[in-house]
């Protein structure tokens, strides 16, 4: 992405014009430009490339109703010919234009070569270029991880990704792998992942000043979810490479936090497993004693995400972080409630929830708070254990899943839980079909507002 954005002032002039301002702007242009726009039946909306008398591009305009959208250039980076285009605009417009320009050019090309040559956006701000490249790389990390097929994105591969991130920013990473999980009391992570030849593990990254405010991120790392013995149908299994999307989100968010040198003590916990089927797979009806000491009856082996998360959340309590935030591709119920493009989240802290929501609106990364409706907690009950890993009915499934997780978080810890799709089902400007980051820009903006010096 580094060649997509440059700091400077040289390039073909590129202008952003509001729909309302376009008629007045047009009257102020030289006759050749007016003639071109009129003769090409330009509607006063979208992109127009204006040539000079010798056929070279002399000017580019883009007319839109919302000229401050974070996705304003998400399409035109693919429509303009390769060249340098100079945008002179306010800092806010430069930020959004650069962001959408860089992400609009995103392609997952690990397995299919992409020879397209992209145009370069030139802006007169080295700071905005640097910040945008950090932010868009964080989003690209999430997309790349989610898009990678499960054969190349198993628990050991997630660990390698986090180790590379640690090397880049001077963080430390430890792993608890295979039967070590039993020895060190992470029984549910082990249980869900033990049927796979790809050993389950808890990956633990730490970074930052030990005296700084503690922020802990937990990400569901189910690298492929067959459903276990409660096997998914083929259609339901097709995209389950994305079930490690929660892990991808916290890794991308961690990259942004560290790249920005945010003054926090960061910890990232990723319980990474494959939910496979073999002779030693966990079964419906089994009862497991979790790290926190609560017993859980397995109602359905396809509700495995909350099982791996509950041990990681129990471990996160030990540091008493100022903020504990988890991301997971947890429930279809949340997709039914809010659709695939609006991530829902739960929080036990009203102030934090309001702050994240407002921050999301600031950066056009909307999130929607859902209720931790306590009366539904009895839906997670069991006749023979403290909890069951599924609600008794399919109704309110995202809420009962969140209430299950909340049982493993100490009451004095500010906790928020994001239930995300991690996938675009349709193409939108700057957002191709495939893996996607939802909510991490909202959370990062909130962290900056709260902790940045």
Catalytic residue numbers read: 232, 306
Question: Helices 126-147 & 245-259, crossing angle to 10 degrees?
Answer: 160
Most distant pair of Cα atoms in the chain: their distance: 83
Cβ-based burial of 277 (10 A; exposed 0-12, middle 13-18, buried ≥19): middle
User: Which residues are bridge partners to 123 per DSSP?
Assistant: 7
- Per the CB < 8 A criterion, the answer to whether 220 and 330 are in contact is yes
Q: Which of 301, 149, 311, 303 is nearest to 224 (CA)?
A: 149
**Tokens 């990474």 sit on residue:** 272
- Per the CB < 8 A criterion, the answer to whether 397 and 333 are in contact is yes
How far apart are the C-alpha atoms of 166 and 180, rounded to whole Å?
22
Which ranges constitute the DSSP H helices of 16-154?
22-27, 31-39, 91-104, 126-147
List Cα–Cα distances, 339 to 315, 335, 342, in angstroms: 32, 4, 6
Q: Using DSSP, state whether 253 is helix, strand or coil.
A: helix
How far apart are the C-alpha atoms of 149 and 115, rounded to whole Å?
22
Neighbouring C-beta atoms of residue 98, cutoff 10 Å: 24
444 secondary structure, DSSP code: H
DSSP E strands, 194-238: 201-207, 214-219, 221-225
374 secondary structure, DSSP code: G
- Per the CB < 8 A criterion, the answer to whether 45 and 64 are in contact is yes
How many Cα atoms sit within 13 Å of 249 on the Cβ side?
Answer: 33
């Amino acid at each position: 992405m580094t060649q997509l954005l440059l700091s400077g002032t040289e390039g073909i002039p590129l202008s952003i014009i509001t729909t309302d301002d376009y008629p007045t702007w047009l009257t102020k242009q030289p006759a050749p430009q007016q003639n071109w726009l009129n003769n090409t039946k330009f509607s006063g909306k979208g992109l127009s490339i204006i040539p000079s008398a010798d056929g070279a591009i002399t000017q580019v305009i883009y007319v839109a109703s919302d000229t401050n959208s974070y996705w304003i250039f998400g399409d035109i980076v693919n429509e303009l010919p390769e060249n340098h285009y100079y945008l002179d605009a306010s800092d806010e417009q430069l930020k959004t234009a650069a962001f959408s320009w860089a992400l609009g050019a995103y392609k997952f090309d690990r397995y299919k070569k992409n020879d397209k040559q992209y145009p370069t956006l030139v802006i007169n701000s080295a700071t905005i270029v640097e910040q945008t490249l950090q932010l868009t790389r964080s989003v690209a990390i999430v997309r790349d991880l989610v898009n990678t097929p499960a054969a190349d994105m198993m628990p050991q591969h997630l660990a390698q990704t986090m180790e590379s991130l640690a090397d880049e920013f001077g963080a430390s990473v430890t792993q608890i792998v295979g039967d070590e999980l039993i020895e060190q009391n992470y029984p549910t992570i082990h249980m869900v992942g033990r049927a796979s030849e790809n050993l389950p593990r808890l990956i633990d990254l730490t970074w930052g000043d030990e005296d700084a405010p503690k922020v802990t991120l937990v990400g569901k790392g189910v690298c492929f979810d067959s459903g276990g013995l409660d096997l998914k149908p083929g259609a339901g299994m097709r995209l389950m490479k994305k079930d490690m999307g929660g892990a991808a989100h916290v890794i991308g968010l961690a990259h942004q936090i560290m790249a920005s040198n945010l003054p926090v003590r960061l910890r990232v916990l990723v319980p990474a497993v494959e939910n496979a089927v073999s002779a030693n797979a966990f079964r419906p009806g089994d009862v497991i004693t979790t790290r926190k000491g609560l017993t859980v009856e397995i109602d359905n082996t396809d509700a495995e995400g909350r099982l791996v998360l509950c041990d990681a959340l129990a471990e996160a309590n030990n540091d008493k972080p100022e903020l504990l935030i988890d991301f997971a591709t947890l429930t279809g119920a949340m997709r039914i409630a809010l659709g695939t493009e609006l991530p829902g989240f739960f929080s036990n802290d009203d102030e934090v929830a309001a702050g994240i929501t407002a921050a999301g609106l600031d950066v056009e990364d909307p999130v929607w708070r859902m209720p931790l409706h306590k009366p539904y907690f009895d839906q997670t009950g069991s006749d023979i254990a403290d909890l069951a890993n599924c609600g008794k009915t399919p109704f309110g499934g995202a809420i009962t899943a969140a209430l299950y997780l909340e049982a493993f978080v100490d009451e004095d810890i500010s906790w928020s839980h994001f239930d995300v799709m991690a996938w675009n089902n349709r193409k939108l400007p700057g957002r191709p079909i495939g893996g996607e980051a939802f909510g991490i820009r909202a959370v990062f903006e909130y962290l900056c507002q709260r902790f940045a010096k």
